[in-house]
Every structure is written in C-alpha cells, then in structure tokens.
C-alpha cells in the first residue's frame, strides 16, 4: 500500500529579550544555577507577574513577518500542572486568545519549488526551569535560570507531507526569527525546539490517521530522522495489523528512535483559565502599524530581490538569503565591489569553503565583507587575476594584511598586462622548451589547442601568477603558430 | 494610650506627650498581657518594632516626621514581611520567612509606621470565623465564646481589644468588613486595584484587596492614603491619582441619596441586626440624607458564583506550595509524587483542601464552561446590578453580616459558614469599595453597618462613615476586656 505522511510542527522559539517575560531577571545563557532567578521566577508567595513589552513587540513582529492576523486583544492563561522545575505549579501561556492569529510560511524544497505551510497561531508563554539529574546523589537539582524566559510557540497546520518538508519549514521559521532579530535561533542552546506531530494515512484517504507527538526535538537533522523513524514505525505497525495510539513520544538521537513517554489516558488535564494577575493585552492599530513599518526585509522578499533585481540564479538567491547574516555579508561584498554575480560567486565559493573547513559561522569570518568586497573589486577591474585573488584571500584570512590592495602591493601580485613584458617571458619559455615546441609543431592543428596549456603554465609560473592569462594565451598561440 | 485613635495618637506624638518608643513599649506590654486569651497575633515583632519606633523618634527629633510617623499598627500575616515569619495562618508556611516586603508593608514603613507584628487569620484567608487557622482560633474581645469573624479576625480582635490602634487586613469576600462588624471596629475594603497586591499572598487574585481596619473612618482615611496607588509590580493595580482621603471627611451629607438593597433585608437577617441597621439609617436621615429602596436582582447568585471563581483561582494560586522550594516538606519522601502528596496533605488544613478540590474540579475539562465561564457571566451581571443602582443613589447601605458574631464551633457545616458572607461577597465580585462601621449591638455583640460606593468612591464612603461617627458613639464603645485591663 502507498502511505502518505502528515506532519504538523509546534516550534518553540526563545525570544531575545534581555529580561524575562514576567520579571526583570536576566535571560543570559550559561550563568551559575539559580543566579538569574528573582522572587517572581521562584514563584515566592505573594509575587506577581508583569508583562515584558519587548516580548509582545517581538511576537507581533513575527506575526507580521508571516502575514498573520494580529488580534486586537490577546489573553494570558494558566496551564496548571505540577513539576519540580515549574515553580508556580502552572505555566503562564495563551490558550484561548493568542497574540498571533493565522498566517503562512513559504518553504523552498530541494527541487527549487515552493510550498505554503499554514500557521494556525503563535502564542507567548514562559519557559520552565531545568531539572538536573546528575551529580546530586540520587536527588534532583533544580536550576530556575531558564524559568520565565519568553517563548513564542508557533503552531503549524498539518500541512507537511515529508520529513524534508518539515525540516524546510523549521529552517524557514529559523530564518524568519533570526532575520527579525527576535531570537538568536541557537538550537544547541535550546533557543529553538520543536514538537512534531506525525501520522500516516493510505494515499488518497482524506481522514487523518492517529498521530503521535514527538517532544523536544532540537536540531534540523533530528527532526528529519525522528520523523523518518516514526513514519516507518507507524506504517509497520499498521501493516502488521496493529493500531497507532495517540501518545507522546521522545526522540533519542543516540539510539535514533522514538520511545513512548505517555499515552493519551495518562495526559494531564491542564485546567486552563485566564490568568487573573495579568490584564488582557490590547494592541492599538498605531502600535502594530509602527512595528510593520519598521520590519526588516524578510527572507522571501530578499530572495525575490536577489533574483529579480540582482539577476542571481534562483539557487544562489536562495542560498544567500537563507540567513540574515549570510545575506548581510553578501550585500556588503556586493556594495563594495559593485558586481552582484562576482560577489555571489566569491561568497559561496572561496568564503563558504573556508568557513566550512574551519567550522566557522559567517559572523566569525576572519575576512570582513568590506575586505572581500575590495578583493572582488580588484578581480573585476583586472588588477589581479583569479589565481592571485585566491592568494590574496588566503592572506586576508590569515591576517597577513589589512586590505586586498595592501596585500597585492606587498606580494607583487598586480596583474602584468604589459604586452612587451609578457612577450619577453613567452620568448624565454619557448627558448627553454625545444622538445615541447617540436611536439607542438608536429601535432595535428586540432590537437595543438590542448598542448598550449603547458606553455601557459610555464609563462604563468615565470610571472609568479601575475600575467594576464587571456593575454598569455593569445600571444602564445600567435608565436607558436608562427613557428609552425 | 490603648483606646486612642490614630489621629489622637498622632497628636500625642506631635505634642511630645510620649515617644513612639514609649507608645510601642506600652502596646507590646499589653499584647503580652492580653493576647494569651485572644490569640490575635501569630508573631509579635517586638525588637523590630522598637527599632522602627526609635527611627521614628529620631526622625521627629530632626523635624522630619510625617503625619503617620511613629504610629503603631499590626499586619495580617498574609503580607510578606522581610526577615519575619509570614505564615498565612498555615502549617504550610509555618517555617517560611519572607525574603522581601509586600508593597503595603513597604509603603507603611516609608510613612514611618511601626509594625508590632503579624496577626492571626483563617488559613490562606479562607474562612469567616478565624477558626481555620493552624495557630488556633482567635477569640472575640467582646465575648470570648464568640468568633471575631474572618479571615482578618486577628487584626479585628487586636484593634477591638486595644492591642493596636489599627491593623491591615485583606478582603476577598468580606474578610475585612465582616470581622470589623463582629468586633465593633471600622474596616474598609477599597476598590479592586486601588492597593497593590504585590507581596500579599494570593487567595483569589481577581478578588483580593488589602485595606485598613481601625477605630474610626478618619483613621482608615489616613491609612488608605498611605497604602493606595499604582504599583508597577502589580499589573492589576490602577494608575490613578490618590486623593487626600481626609479632605472631605467633614463634608455635610444633606442631599445624600442612600439606597437600601431589598435583597439585603430578606430571609436570614437577624431581627436585632436589622433593627440596629434601620436605626443607623434614621441617623442618616436626620443628617439630611434621603433613603429609597433599590434592587440588586442577582444577589442570590453571588455566593455560588464566588464559590466557583475564588476556589478556581485558589487551586492554581496554591499550587506553588509543593514542598520543593519553600514551606512545609514531608519527612523522607519516597518519590516526587509522594513528596507532593504528603507535603500538601500535611501542610494544608481542611477548608483549604476543600477549596482546592472545588477549584480543581470546576476548572476540569468538561466542567469549565458549566462552572467557571458561567460564574464569570454571573459576575458581570452582579457588577451591572451595582452600576445600575449607583445611577440612582450615591451609596448603598445594609448589614455587613446577617447575624452578630456567632459562637466558636457554631457553624460546623461549610455551606452555612459560606452563607455568612451573603452581604459582602457580591462587592468583591463587582470590585467596588465597601466599609463596615459599628452601628450598635445585638445580644451584647457588635453590629456592623455596611456602606457601599461605586468604583473609586472611597473618599465618599469615608465621608459618609465619618459623619455617622460624628453623630453616634458606637465606634467609641470598648469591650470590657479592653477596659478592665487598662
């Protein structure tokens, strides 16, 4: 039987506010346990929450970024359950009236085609603390630094049909939130995590199958792998005459499998009700308009502009707009060198290669966008040839000089275009290579083209790479053919 | 000094008749002598009180004294007080020392007020008789066989017995007004949002409100001015200027329109209480007020609506008492669930458990719409009843409680206890202010007249109450216990 996979994602994005969603404590990552938890975060008797306006602004920016409805009124609710790292015994969240209404996200698939994934809503909530089970001799340690960190939970419709689509959606969300600057998007530190709802159904069937929810998947790769495993498990189960049960499962990256956490029967009744300590959030139109007017260009718009205005290929436009850092770097190079295509080639070629080799993010590149732009400008105006340019790039990478011009000067890499100088070098190479000249002369005329490479190489070597290769080629052909 | 009002004590301090230290010492000695039989205090903070008194005297010496500097008072044990045990009347918090001051405590300290200690109360403010305290019941100074009312029973009894001239209480369904009535003192529940709730241990967040309990409306005006105002730490506190509540106390009442809600004079009202209240209304008529009957048609839904909303909020508010970070933790828990179950089973008393169960049930899937949502709809109707009435009249008047203080142990059935709050509870649901003033006696026990106004009409209520106290002397009566031991 042919099976179709149906996937919906709940993505939790940690918002990049300086203080927590309901208290003034810092949200910085990595502090000593419980040093960033104030009376409010500890849920001490008598404390009250006060909403952080920055978190509201960020949530609205996200909503605008996915062309969502922004309701005038949203309300915080309490989600009640007991857990040691949940200090108040409830999580303040938004159940009935979320801050962001229905919207949509465009994803790009591997074949370059695009698909729209509907977002059901996005709501604000507070994160819980962390339970630490090691180093406490059979007891559990509680670290409440993370408690109260603002989260935006983005809930998709079940619109994805493959693990690849789910990963592409997650990447698109990542790209939007980092473009907006509302999250650092750091998945390793838990700034983005997702719960994946997966079900399968016979191809052509309209009704959804029973779904399993895989909790807390925290990388693009794990999302794909968790779904792949889960889909296979569900299909096998059904084909063996079994039934999928609605349950919460956990993905174990080490075993590369999902395991049951709790079934629907064991699920909590969260007893949601409006939080009486917080007033409804009322957004006036002017506030929303102000945020809309100040929205940065988002990935989809940027991709379209790179393709349309700058004339890049769809592929290049996609790669260069994938992250805000990449796009900003590329545009920096382009603005300095004045050639979008050359800039695109250099950013995706030499630069990305070097970054990948060293495992660096583009923000940590030793070569700045301005430095690379100046280098590309010298390629464009033919001050140096491509080979020399690679040398200059390496020198910039290793901080051997501050600018391309300084390195070109210091290393004498300026391209030689003086015909006389090139002719002198050619004459010397011809004189030094009687055997090769003889072979050239004896070859059939249509084979000679290939043989000229040897002489070009020798001339370039003699010029230490600075001779203009086109000139060398043309002059060599002329002189060699004259010998025939 | 024990039978003076705050206003009189302030004059004595200003005139140098006694120092704040002398006043504090005298009252501490009185607490020591009398509170054994009353049990109105959970914690007496003598040392801190004397330090605060010395600071107040020093400030006065430097000419920096304000109108409240050096005046003593007690705090209901629901207000977090830095470095002081804050128990909320519960075993759960018997070992809890608050690491911070509630907004009310901060403001009183800033005004130079000297706190003598923390008063007894029904556990987590749940109760109408002060019998639900882990620290034992409080006795009514007028009759030790009677309850002082609740939940601010300790505060009311301490003021009535002359242990302190004033105390802070909180009122979620009548917990200031009813004990004020039972103990023959004046108690004001301000408009919801008038006083910050920050640092006040939450019972039902949408209903809780702090307010003063004292010997006169004029004293309540002084204290309300000190504690009212917007607080950035409480989103539900209202950003609205604080008037001088004493400014209009003497305004004449001619032309005042008084409404008597028909529903507040019906079945269940003790004839003696009704008689006292009707006498009080006559006093107002003699002062130039006009009286008419009005209707608050949804009154009989108030108690059921309250007992859905308040327990729902309480069930959530009290979840933080889980034995993990603070408060009572059971011995040697076997696992996490055991820790939760036994810590809470041992830490909470019966009435608190009952309300947590009710609240958990009404919020449960499948019941939420039928209970919680419906109760909120009823709440809007009740609020509208009051707003409609205030279109016609300036204030509403009626009894604060259907009976005078009942005997300890008399109301064993929870529902009959809940019915005690029939005249006070709707006020919290509507968020309006209310004040109870002494208006006579029934069977030797005090009767309270309740006066209600529209939102933020505290100044008007205080004026109306003060004028009554200028014309009568019920508020000056003292229980024999207070007089004998003078």
pLDDT tens across A287-310, in order? 999 999 999 999 989 999 999 999
Q: How many residues does chain A have?
A: 484
pLDDT above 70 covers a percentage of chain A that reads 100
**Token match 């838990």: residue?**
A190
| Structure confidence at residue A417 as a pLDDT band (50, 70, 90) | confident
Local structure of residue B269 (DSSP, 8 states): -
Q: What is the pLDDT of residue A29?
A: 85
Task: Please determine, for residue A263, whether its predicted confidence score (pLDDT) is greater than 80.
Answer: no
Instruction: Give the pairing of strands A77-80 and A103-108.
Output: unpaired
Instruction: State the CB neighbour count (10 A cutoff) for residue B394.
Output: 19
Q: What is the pLDDT of residue A133?
A: 85
Residue among A48, A142, A273 minimizing CB distance to B312? A273
Residue among A43, A46, A279 minimizing CB distance to B235? A279
Residues of A with CB under 8 A from a CB of B: 39, 42-51, 78, 80, 82, 84, 87-90, 142, 269, 271-273, 276-279
Q: Which are the contacts of B326, defined by CB distance < 8 A and separation ≥ 6?
A: A44, A45, B93, B96
Q: Is B59 helix (H, G, I), strand (E, B) or coil?
A: helix
CB contacts < 8 A (A, B): 100
Judge whether B182 lies within some domain: yes
Domain that holds residue B27: 6-250
Q: What is the pLDDT of residue A236?
A: 95
Residue A420 burial by CB count (10 A; 0-12/13-18/19+): exposed, middle or buried? Answer: exposed
Q: Which residues of A touch B320 (CB under 8 A)?
A: 43, 45, 87-89
The CATH number given to whatever domain includes residue B95 is 3.90.1300.10
Structure tokens at B282: 């006559």
As a whole number of angstroms, the distance between CA B26 and CA B421 comes to 36
Judge whether B314 lies within some domain: no
Q: Which residues of A touch B372 (CB under 8 A)?
A: 273
- Contact status of B205 with chain A (Cβ, < 8 Å): yes
Q: How many residues does chain B have?
A: 486
Q: What is the pLDDT of residue B235?
A: 97
The reply to whether residue B204 touches residue A276, judged by beta carbons under 8 angstroms, is yes
Judge whether B454 lies within some domain: no
Q: What is the pLDDT of residue A446?
A: 80
Torsion of CA B105, B107, B109, B112, to 10 degrees: -150
Judge whether B296 lies within some domain: no
Q: Best interface-test mutation with B: which of A21, A43, A45, A142 has the largest number of B CBs within 10 A?
A: A45
Residue among B320, B363, B365 minimizing CB distance to A89? B320
Q: Which residues of A touch B80 (CB under 8 A)?
A: 44-46
Judge whether B120 lies within some domain: yes
Instruction: Give the pairing of strands A3-14 and A273-274.
Output: unpaired
Using CA coordinates, name the residue in chain A closest to B87: A45
User: Are B105 and A49 a contacting pair, CB within 8 Å?
Assistant: no
User: Are A116 and A104 a contacting pair, CB within 8 Å?
Assistant: yes
Say what angle helices A419-432 and A469-483 make with each other, to 10 degrees: 50
The reply to whether residue A142 touches residue B102, judged by beta carbons under 8 angstroms, is no
The radius of gyration of chain B's CA atoms, rounded to the nearest angstrom, is 21
Instruction: Give the pairing of strands B434-442 and B186-189.
Output: antiparallel
Judge whether B416 lies within some domain: no
Strands (E), B331-467: 395-399, 434-442, 445-452
Closest-CA distance of chain B to residue A45, Å? 5
Q: Which residues of B touch A46 (CB under 8 A)?
A: 79-80, 86, 98, 102, 197-202
The reply to whether residue B200 touches residue A46, judged by beta carbons under 8 angstroms, is yes
Stretch (H or E) spanning B275: helix B271-286
Q: What is the pLDDT of residue B485?
A: 55
> Left, alpha or beta for B16 (phi > 0: left; psi -120 to 50: alpha)?
left
The β-bridge partners of B187 are: B213, B436
Delimit the domains of chain A by residue range.
Answer: 3-287, 297-411, 419-483
- Contact status of B369 with chain A (Cβ, < 8 Å): no
Instruction: Give the pairing of strands A114-126 and A150-156.
Output: antiparallel
Closest-CA distance of chain B to residue A338, Å? 52
As a whole number of angstroms, the distance between CA B153 and CA B437 comes to 16
Judge whether B446 lies within some domain: no
User: Are A319 and A355 a contacting pair, CB within 8 Å?
Assistant: no
Closest-CA distance of chain B to residue A93, Å? 14
Strands (E), B193-273: 209-214, 257-261
Task: State which residues of chain B have pLDDT below 70.
Answer: 484-486
Stretch (H or E) spanning A293: helix A285-293
As a whole number of angstroms, the distance between CA B127 and CA B352 comes to 9
| Structure confidence at residue A437 as a pLDDT band (50, 70, 90) | confident
The reply to whether residue B232 touches residue A42, judged by beta carbons under 8 angstroms, is no
The reply to whether residue A44 touches residue B205, judged by beta carbons under 8 angstroms, is no
Closest-CA distance of chain A to residue B424, Å? 21
Closest CA to A13 of A51, A48, A53, A63: A63
Q: Is B394 helix (H, G, I), strand (E, B) or coil?
A: coil
As a whole number of angstroms, the distance between CA A310 and CA B25 comes to 85
Q: Best interface-test mutation with A: which of B90, B230, B319, B337 has the largest number of A CBs within 10 A?
A: B319
**Token match 């979840």: residue?**
B319
Q: Which are the contacts of B19, defined by CB distance < 8 A and separation ≥ 6?
A: B13, B53, B57, B70
Q: What is the pLDDT of residue A314?
A: 87
Q: Which residues of A touch B312 (CB under 8 A)?
A: 273
As a whole number of angstroms, the distance between CA A474 and CA A417 comes to 12
Catalytic residues of B: 76, 151, 175
pLDDT above 90 covers a percentage of chain A that reads 72
Closest-CA distance of chain B to residue A47, Å? 5
The pLDDT mean for chain A works out to 92
Q: Which residues of A touch B368 (CB under 8 A)?
A: 271-273
- Contact status of B123 with chain A (Cβ, < 8 Å): no
If one counts the domains in chain B, the total is 1
Measure CA of the first residue to CA of the last residue in chain A; give whole Å: 71
Local structure of residue B324 (DSSP, 8 states): S
Residue among A39, A48, A82 minimizing CB distance to B100? A39
Closest-CA distance of chain B to residue A279, Å? 7
ipTM: 0.96
The radius of gyration of chain A's CA atoms, rounded to the nearest angstrom, is 30
Q: What is the pLDDT of residue B226?
A: 98
Judge whether B227 lies within some domain: yes
Cis peptide before B355 (omega within 30 of 0): no
- Contact status of B76 with chain A (Cβ, < 8 Å): no
The answer to whether domain A419-483 has CATH 3.40.1030.10 is: no
- Contact status of B314 with chain A (Cβ, < 8 Å): no
Q: Which residues of A touch B236 (CB under 8 A)?
A: 48, 276-277, 279
The reply to whether residue B326 touches residue A44, judged by beta carbons under 8 angstroms, is yes
Closest-CA distance of chain B to residue A83, Å? 9
Residue among B100, B198, B322 minimizing CB distance to A82? B322
């Amino acid at each position: 039987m042919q099976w179709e996979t149906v996937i919906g994602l709940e993505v939790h994005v940690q918002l990049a506010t300086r203080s927590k969603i309901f208290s003034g404590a810092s949200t910085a990552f990595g502090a000593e346990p419980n040093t960033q938890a104030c009376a409010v975060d500890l849920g001490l008797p008598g404390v009250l929450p006060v909403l952080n306006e920055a978190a509201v602004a960020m949530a609205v920016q996200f909503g605008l970024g996915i062309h969502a409805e922004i309701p005038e009124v949203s309300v915080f609710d309490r989600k009640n359950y007991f857990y040691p790292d949940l200090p108040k015994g409830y999580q303040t969240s938004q159940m009935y009236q979320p801050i962001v209404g229905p919207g949509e996200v465009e994803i790009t698939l591997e074949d370059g085609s695009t698909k729209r994934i509907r977002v059901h809503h996005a709501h604000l909530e507070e994160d819980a603390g962390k339970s630490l089970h090691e180093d406490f001799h059979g007891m559990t340690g509680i670290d409440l630094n993370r408690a109260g960190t603002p989260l935006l939970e983005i809930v998709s419709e079940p619109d994805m049909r493959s693990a690849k689509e789910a990963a592409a959606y997650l990447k698109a969300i990542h790209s939007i939130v980092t473009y907006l600057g509302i999250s650092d998007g750091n998945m390793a530190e838990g700034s983005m995590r997702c719960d994946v709802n997966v079900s399968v159904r016979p191809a052509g069937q309209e009704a959804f199958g029973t779904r399993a929810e895989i909790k807390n998947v925290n990388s693009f790769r794990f999302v794909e792998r968790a779904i792949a495993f889960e889909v296979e498990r569900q299909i096998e189960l059904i084909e063996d005459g079994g039934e999928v049960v609605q349950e919460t499962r956990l993905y174990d990256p080490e075993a590369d499998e999902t395991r049951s956490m709790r079934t629907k029967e064991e699920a909590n009744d969260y007893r949601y009700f409006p939080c009486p300590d917080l007033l409804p959030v009322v957004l006036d139109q002017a506030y929303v308009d102000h945020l809309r007017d100040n929205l940065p260009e988002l990935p989809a718009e940027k991709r379209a502009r790179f393709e349309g205005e700058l004339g890049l290929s769809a592929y290049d436009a996609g790669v260069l707009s994938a992250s805000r850092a990449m796009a900003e770097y590329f545009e920096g190079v382009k603005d300095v060198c004045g050639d979008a295509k050359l800039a695109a080639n250099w950013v995706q070629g030499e630069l990305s290669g070097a970054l990948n080799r060293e495992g660096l993010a583009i923000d940590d590149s030793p070569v700045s966008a301005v430095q690379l732009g100046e280098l590309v400008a010298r390629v464009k105006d033919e001050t140096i040839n491509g080979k020399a340019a690679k040398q200059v790039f390496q020198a910039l990478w290793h901080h051997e000089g501050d600018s391309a011009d300084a390195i070109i000067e210091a290393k004498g890499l300026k391209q030689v275009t003086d015909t006389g100088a090139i002719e002198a070098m050619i004459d010397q190479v011809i004189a030094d290579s009687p055997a090769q000249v003889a072979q050239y002369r004896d070859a059939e005329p249509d084979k000679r083209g290939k043989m000229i490479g040897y002489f070009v190489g020798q001339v370039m070597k003699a010029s230490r790479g600075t001779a203009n290769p086109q000139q060398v080629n043309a002059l060599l052909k002329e002189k060699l053919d004259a010998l025939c | 000094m024990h039978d003076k009002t705050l206003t009189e004590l302030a004059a004595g301090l200003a005139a140098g008749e006694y120092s704040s230290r002398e006043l504090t010492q005298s009252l501490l000695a009185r607490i020591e002598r009398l509170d054994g039989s009353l049990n109105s205090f959970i914690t007496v903070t003598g040392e801190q009180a004397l330090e605060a008194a010395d600071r107040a005297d020093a400030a006065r010496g430097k000419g920096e004294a304000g109108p409240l500097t050096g005046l003593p008072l007690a705090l209901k044990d629901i207000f977090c007080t830095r470095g002081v045990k804050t128990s909320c009347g519960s075993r759960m918090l018997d070992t809890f020392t608050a690491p911070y001051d509630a907004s009310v405590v901060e403001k009183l300290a800033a005004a130079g007020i000297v706190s003598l200690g923390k008063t007894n109360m029904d556990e987590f403010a749940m109760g109408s008789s002060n019998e639900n305290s882990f620290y034992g019941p409080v006795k009514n100074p007028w009759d030790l066989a009677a309850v002082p009312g609740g939940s601010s029973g300790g505060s009311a009894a301490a003021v009535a017995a002359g242990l302190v001239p004033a105390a802070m209480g909180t009122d979620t369904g009548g917990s200031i007004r009813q004990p004020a009535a039972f103990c023959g003192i004046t108690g004001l529940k301000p408009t919801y949002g008038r006083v910050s709730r920050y640092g006040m241990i939450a019972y039902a967040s949408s209903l809780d409100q702090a307010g003063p309990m004292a010997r006169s409306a004029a004293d309540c005006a002084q204290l309300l001015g000190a504690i009212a105002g917007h607080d950035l730490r409480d989103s539900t506190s209202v950003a609205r200027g604080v008037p001088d509540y004493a400014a209009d106390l003497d305004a004449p009442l001619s032309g005042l329109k008084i409404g008597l809600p028909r529903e507040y004079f019906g079945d269940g009202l003790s004839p003696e209480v009704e008689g006292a209240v009707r006498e009080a209304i006559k006093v107002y008529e003699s002062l130039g007020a006009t009286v008419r009957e009005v209707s608050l048609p949804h009154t009989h839904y108030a108690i059921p609506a309250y007992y859905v909303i308040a327990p729902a909020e309480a069930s959530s508010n009290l979840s933080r008492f889980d034995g993990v970070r603070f408060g009572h933790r059971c011995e040697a828990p076997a696992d996490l669930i055991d820790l939760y179950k036994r810590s809470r089973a041992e830490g909470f008393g019966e009435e608190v458990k009952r309300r947590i169960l009710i609240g958990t049930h009404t919020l449960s899937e499948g019941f939420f719409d039928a209970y919680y949502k419906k109760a909120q709809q009823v709440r809007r109707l009740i609020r509208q009843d009051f707003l409609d009435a205030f279109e016609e009249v300036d204030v509403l008047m009626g009894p604060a409680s259907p009976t005078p203080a009942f005997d300890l142990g008399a109301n064993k059935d929870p529902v009959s206890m809940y019915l005690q709050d029939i005249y006070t509870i709707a006020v919290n649901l509507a968020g309006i202010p209310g004040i109870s003033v002494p208006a006579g006696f029934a069977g030797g026990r005090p009767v309270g007249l309740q006066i209600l106004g529209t939102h933020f009409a505290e100044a008007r209520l205080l004026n109306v109450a003060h004028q009554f106290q200028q014309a009568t002397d019920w508020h000056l009566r003292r229980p024999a216990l207070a007089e004998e031991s003078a």
